[in-house]
Chains A and B, each alone.
Chain A
Amino acid sequence: MSVDYLGLLKLFLPECAVVLTALVILFADLRWWQALPVLQRSRGAAWLMTVGLLGAAAVALLGEKSADLLGGTLVLSSASQHVKVVLLLLAVVTAWLCTEGEFTKHVGEFMALIALATTGMMFLVSTENLLMVFVALELVSLSLYVMTAFNKRSPRSAEAALKYFLFGGMAAAFTLFGFSFLYGLTGSIHLPTIASKLAGHATDPLALAAIVLVVAGFGFKIAAVPFHLWAPDAYEGAPAPAAAFIASGSKVASFFILAKLLQTGLAGAEGSGAWKAFAPGWTAVIALLAAASMIFGNLAALAQTKLRRLLAYSAVAHAGYALLALIGGSQPALLYYVVTYAVTSVGAFGVLAVVEHRTGREDFGSLAGLRERSPLLAAGLTVFMLSLAGIPPLAGFFGKFYVFVAAAKQGPDLGYWWLVALALAMSCVSLFYYLQVLKQVWVAPREESAPTFAGEKAVAALIALLAGAVVVLGCAPEWLIQWLR
């Protein structure tokens, strides 16, 4: 069959723009900027990233919103284009976070990796083809592994990357194995075709094995229990921008494609995880994963003394809440939750990046008296922590609420209410550790030697913007829900 390459290019202009940006930054940094100080190079590269990625976002917003090419290899929808815009914005924020902290001399390479990971994510959300999913997933994963290892002066960074890589490699193998079963059963790698061929024998043992393998592979990506073991070390050891991007962009893309895989590709094989009505299928597996993640993530976070690890375990817990939306079958609820979570997460890492850079510490005590030392960062961190805890009128509250409603609606007779009740109970547990963080910011007295700081202007501005977005999206959520449909 003939392929209309020009048409393809037009549809994938955003991705092309991102790759082009990566190449331009690499060239500029390696050819012209080597003599400049690292901070200047970071700033310059961040500006180039902003221009390039915002341009790509504009193209994605204004361009074609629906397409289905090459047997589902490349599929565009309004939701996918809007999610791409979100991913690009998150990448821009991540790029600016690089200006806060000198963890590497290889600025151009790091920025290029961010751009490449973004490209991978963008392709991940534009496909309904198993092979394309895997290729895009690998692009994202490999870029993120390298980004995690980028701080060559820190043995923890290397350790984190190795754990992430080994775990991720195994997970990718599981995913591919599961995909191969699906192909074996149905003879197709196109999701809708798989669904139609599977219809009727969804409880085939091979299909169930495929479901478990695929969910295991993706469970790693979203850091759900019991595939979360890489998360605390990766979040702690990676340089702040890398951790921020793993926590935000990678989650958004992974949840989007997982939802598509399960809801489109395995449409007949849901089964049920409802109370006293368990039936084999992916809903049952997801329900168990969600319950385990919420319980373990929240309980483990209680014991943490380091901010990064706290955020890692909280990410595990939030993956649990988001999985509820997956069960609920409501794509708007899932996307709203994951997008607002990503915005909150990248903001929180932004604040942590500044604090770690300016104080040199990573424990709770580094935040003591932050309200005096840096009112903007204190306000931002307050908004982010309260949103994660689920306090209205912030986006995190509404996200959780919408997810709970979606999950409760699913299943006859409030079948998933047990999950909602569990989620609420675990949310109460979570309030404790988020308040512990805020206690440091607002209640604990400032230490004698603690410096006052404001952080890089651009980073501070971005944190303020992100905090504002969390507030606005929480008070008026309708807009974002409609936009992500």
Chain B
Amino acid sequence: MLAWTIYISFAAAAAMFLLKPDSRQGARVLALVAALAGLAVGLVGAVQHAGGGLVTIQKLPWVQTIGAEYHLATDGISLTLVILTGLAAVVGILFSWNVEHRTREFFAFYLALIGGVYGVFLSFDLLLLFVFYEIAIIPKYFLIAIWGSTNREYAAMKLALYSFIGSAMVLAGLVAAYVVSGAQTFNLVELAKYPFPASFQNWAFPLVFVGFAILAGLWPFHTWAPTGHSAAPTAASMLLAGVVMKLGAYGCLRVAMTLFPEGLAAWRDVFGGLAVVGIVYGALVSLTQRDFKFVIGYSSVSHMGFVLLGLMTLSTIGLSGAVLQMFSHGVIAGLLFGVVGRMVYDREHTRDLDELQGRRLSRTMPFAAVTFVVAGLASMGMPGFSGFVAELKVLIGAWQTFPKLAVIAGVGIVLGVAYTLRAVQKAFFSGDKEDVPGAIHAGHGHGESAITLPEKIGAVVLITTTLVIGLYPKQLLDWIVPSFASPLFDGLRKGGLQ
């Protein structure tokens, strides 16, 4: 049943081209219906799954010659991310309600991207997972290159090339693993059982891990992220930071760590260190940015650092914290980019914090200000929001294994407070126009429209989600934690997973 999330998305993307070329409302409605259907299917599937272990959805022979199968399956981790994708898709469409230029193509590419993402989260055959992973690259390129803002063609090409290089590295590792295992299969569960020689794992693990981690924003391969997120249109930024970066982290967990546990043991310290560098570096650089979207872009790098740190802790609490952080950051990044991109940029036509300083946005768009404050609190890790639970678990897990890194990561949280408050203050709550020399005299009647209903719905949905999970994380954790008990993680258990 969960497979329908994929099919509905691709079908709707194709159906977009049956609409009239200048149809806007039709395209929006079709996209929203498809995204809502996907979310509904995801939720129903999650309820049905209810904490069971690995459940196969579909298993058909695909390419017998090499042993690839059309194998879709799910466990708690996949479910969490499928629901995140559904939420991000719906809210992204709501925040893109105002796209006027080539609307149906926008939503076609958007839905194709969503379909590819669903596919990655549900695939348990390595070739199939890779196929969906690469399918997602091309819509991203076009979304940014056509509907993006500053420097969009450069940003789109950079993002596409980085993603493709990452997936090429993954493919290299997968081909090597397939050949070395001698098993004529790409089934993840089967390959996870195979004892790859340690010398092989020592180079295969970093290859595949870095390949996926490029997309997850591992420092120092993260530079595509801020550029790409800033150039992308709002919905694409929300998807990119919210979901696509999680594709990379999911790949790290699902493929690299599951297949090569001994390699992981050898490289843990290195990647744990890089993750923490990412946390602190992302936060520090975010603190100096003039462009509002770059602030959020670098903060995404910082938050993804927590995910990667959690993955390296090799304790159930750290790993489940990492998965929860994937979900939580997906929601929060969606909120942040929604406010910055849709609510502020589309109206003020500037993302420069110094220019925004004079415009008293807390007066002219109070809803946006409140939303951003709430989102900022969540991003900082304020208890009551999902970010706190996730980051706490990651830090506890990290303290058990790399105490020094945990302390540095904690510093990263404090820096998070700093850059968030700076951005909030500059953009929304700074002094009167007269205080800032050279500030643009922005009146109320800027032609600004009030915050529209779709934006309000989108924001409320996301805020509610982060609050609910922050106050009652048990619902998600009941799915996530038992997944680590499945036989898929036996190799990791031998490697020290508690």
Contact = CB atoms under 8 A, between A and B. Distances in A.
A435 B132 CA distance: 19
B164 A431 contact: yes
18 contacts: A391-B134, A391-B135, A391-B138, A392-B132, A393-B131, A393-B135, A402-B66, A405-B179, A408-B179, A409-B179, A421-B172, A424-B169, A428-B164, A431-B160, A442-B142, A442-B146, A443-B142, A478-B62
Interface in A402-450: 402, 404-405, 408-409, 414, 417, 420-421, 424-425, 427-428, 431-432, 435, 439, 442-443
Nearest to B138: A391
A392 B135 contact: yes
Contact of A439 (B66, B153, B169): B153
B284 interface: no
B212 to A, nearest CB: 15
B63 A481 contact: yes
B161 A405 contact: no
Given A414-B176, A420-B175, A478 B64 contact: yes
Per DSSP, chain A at the interface is helix
B159 to A, nearest CB: 11
A200 B266 CA distance: 46
Contacts of A439: 145, 153
Question: 6 tightest A-B contacts by CB?
Answer: A392-B131, A424-B168, A408-B179, A443-B145, A428-B165, A431-B164
A218 interface: no
A332 B168 CA distance: 23
B48 interface: no
Interface in B129-163: 130-132, 134-135, 137-138, 141-142, 145-146, 153, 157, 160-161
A74 interface: no
A386 interface: yes
A81 to B, nearest CB: 20
Contacts of A421: 172
Interface residues of B, number: 33
Contacts of A477: 63
A443 B146 contact: yes
A427 B175 CA distance: 15
A476 B138 CA distance: 21
Given A435-B160, A442-B142, 7 more contacts: A332-B65, A392-B134, A398-B63, A402-B65, A404-B171, A427-B168, A443-B142
Contact of B134 (A397, A435, A442, A443): A397
A425 B167 CA distance: 10
B178 A405 contact: yes
B208 to A, nearest CB: 13
A182 B481 CA distance: 67
A293 B398 CA distance: 48
A417 B141 CA distance: 30
Contacts of B131: 392-393, 397
A401 interface: yes
A428 B170 CA distance: 13
B127 interface: yes
A45 to B, nearest CB: 35
Interface residues of A, number: 32
Contacts of A443: 142, 145-146, 153
A401 B126 CA distance: 12
B180 interface: yes
B64 to A, nearest CB: 6
B165 A417 contact: no
Interface string B283-299: 00000000000000000
Nearest to A439: B145
Interface string B43-83: 00000000000000000011111100000000000000000
A477 B65 CA distance: 10
A405 B186 CA distance: 12
A428 B161 contact: yes
Contacts of B145: 439, 442-443
A392 B169 CA distance: 16
Interface string A386-397: 100001110001
A405 B131 CA distance: 15
Nearest to A390: B134
A432 B135 contact: no
Nearest to A406: B66
Contacts of B157: 432, 435
Contacts of A481: 63, 65
Interface in B32-49: none
A417 B176 contact: yes
| Interface core residue of A417, A420, A435, A476 (most chain B CB under 10 Å) | A435
B160 to A, nearest CB: 6
A73 B485 CA distance: 64
A420 B65 contact: no
A354 to B, nearest CB: 20
B65 A431 contact: no
Contact of A392 (B63, B65, B130, B161): B130
A405 B138 contact: no
B160 A414 contact: no
Contacts of A432: 157, 161
Contacts of B65: 332, 402, 478, 481-482
Contacts of B179: 405, 408-409, 414
A414 B142 CA distance: 37
Nearest to A442: B142
A289 B161 CA distance: 26
A439 B65 CA distance: 36
A433 to B, nearest CB: 11
Contact of B180 (A332, A401, A414): A414
Contact of A420 (B137, B141, B146, B172): B172
Contact of A401 (B127, B132, B153): B127
Interface in A430-485: 431-432, 435, 439, 442-443, 476-478, 481-482
Nearest to A479: B63
A442 B165 CA distance: 23
Given A332-B65, A405-B66, A414-B180, A428 B168 contact: yes
Nearest to B148: A443
A428 B146 CA distance: 22
B259 to A, nearest CB: 16
Contacts of B132: 392
A408 B145 CA distance: 36
Contacts of A427: 164, 168
A297 B175 CA distance: 24
A477 B63 CA distance: 7
A401 B160 CA distance: 20
B244 to A, nearest CB: 16
Given A414-B176, A431-B161, A439-B145, A401 B62 contact: no
A404 B176 CA distance: 10
A391 B137 CA distance: 9
Interface in B446-484: none
Contacts of B63: 398, 477-478, 481
A432 B134 CA distance: 15
B168 A386 contact: no
B314 to A, nearest CB: 28
A246 to B, nearest CB: 29
Residue in B132, B153, B168 with the greatest tally of chain A CB atoms within 10 Å? B168
A391 B77 CA distance: 27
A413 B178 CA distance: 12
Contact of A404 (B62, B135, B175): B175
A405 B175 contact: yes
Contacts of B169: 424
B451 to A, nearest CB: 31
Interface in B159-198: 160-161, 164-165, 168-169, 171-172, 175-176, 178-180
A476 B62 CA distance: 7
